Amino acid sequence: MINDSIKIIEATVKAAMPEEVAEIIRRYENDERAGVKALLKRLKNKQNKAIAEQNRLTEMYKYEQSCHERGEERIAGVDEVGRGPLAGPVVAAAVILPKGWKPEGINDSKKLSEKLRNTLYEQIMEHALCVSVSTVTPEDIDRINIYQASKKAMTEAVSSLEIPPDHVLIDAMTIDLDVSQTKIIKGDQKSVSIAAASIIAKVTRDEYMKKLHERYPFYGFSTNMGYGTAEHLQGLREHGPINEHRKTFAPVQALIG
């Protein structure tokens, strides 16, 4: 029996690399001390979570993997944010990631905490082969409707990529470009590349709305990002709409008659 102190075992568990976990468990699995059993249980739980995360990422990479198996190397993920808000632009991003790169924690941007979303944003911007962002203004949204505005933003994002993609994975629509593409419903939850694009688009739009809040604080843009919250609607009733409001959206349209 190994007579390491619980303090030493705790330090070993805390510093364990993924490839060391199985050996640490084997080394101490017959130790009957309650403290050691608790430490090993914690380590096993950590290992199980890591395995589950790797399996999730592998599943999220299946569309990219299918493209690679067909000989398509440069895969662009495309997504947009901002369809539902009453104010602000719709923002789309296109991202080409390195082959096989699956950052831990990546997911649909709406499912992530702001802290993790911002961390992943920095990782994506550092590692991506190229990133492109396109915005469509509230004025254009009113002119062509939100569906066409979203499609326009996505199309422009792909067109602006510095590296031409071999294939495009798009969340829930197709675009009018002569490029091989796959439409994926809820793609930001099913594709690493689309999830990366959703993170870039959301962080970009959120930062825009936070800056807009500094000019127009009475709508609460820094927290509602332009969505029709009670605070936002109250601000609309008291101060009326600004240029950044979408005049064809019902709550705004009702106020301006």
- Looking at residue 127, what DSSP letter applies? H
Q: What DSSP letter does each residue of 147-179 carry, written as one string? A: HHHHHHHHHHHHHT-SS--SEEEEES---SSSS
Q: What DSSP letter does each residue of 37-83 carry, written as one string? A: HHHHHHHHHHHHHHHHHHHHHHHHTHHHHHHHHTT---EEEEEEE-S
**Cα angle vertex 31, ends 30, 35, to 5°?**
140
| Alpha-carbon span 99 to 151, nearest angstrom | 26
171 is in an annotated binding site: yes
Give whole-number Cα distances, 177 to 44, 103, 165, 188, 208, in Å.
Answer: 49, 29, 11, 21, 28
166 is in an annotated binding site: no
Pick from 206, 219, 225, 222: nearest CA to 255: 219
| Alpha-carbon span 114 to 202, nearest angstrom | 10
Give whole-number Cα distances, 3 to 30, 31, 43, 53, in Å.
Answer: 11, 9, 19, 34
H helix intervals, 15-33: 21-28
SS3 call for 142: helix
- Is residue 93 within 8 A of residue 200, CB to CB? The reply is yes
79 is in an annotated binding site: yes
* Annotated binding residues: 79-80, 171
* Annotated binding residues for a divalent metal cation: 79-80, 171
